[in-house]
Amino acid sequence: MATFRINEMFIDPALTLIVVEAVEFRTTTTTSGGFMFGSIAPIAVVVCRQDGTTALDMQAKPASVEQLRRDIPELDAVLSA
């Protein structure tokens, strides 16, 4: 199961870009040992400007900022600050 994190990619007084990433780790064991696999994949970009906040998924379609805020408490904390 993936967990989510945010990465503030660009910050200035007029614009902030936040990437929402899915982080996933998997482990497996075989007769020859144990293995761990990890992946980080972007799932959305949040654009914060003085006139509002919008989100786009990776197909450049609008995403729900409110849903992202509910799913990712870290994002909610950054947007509330």
List, for residues 3-35, the tens digit of each pLDDT value: 999 999 999 999 999 999 999 999 999 888 999
Q: How confident is the model at residue 80 (pLDDT cuts 50, 70, 90)?
A: confident
Is 2 a residue whose pLDDT tops 90? no
> In terms of DSSP bridges, do strands 62-63 and 15-30 run parallel, antiparallel, or are they unpaired?
unpaired
C-alpha 45/C-alpha 65 separation (Å) is: 10
Residue showing tokens 């900022």: 65
| Per-residue pLDDT at 15 | 94
Q: Where are the domains of the chain?
A: 3-64
Is 47 a residue whose pLDDT tops 90? yes
Is 57 a residue whose pLDDT tops 80? yes
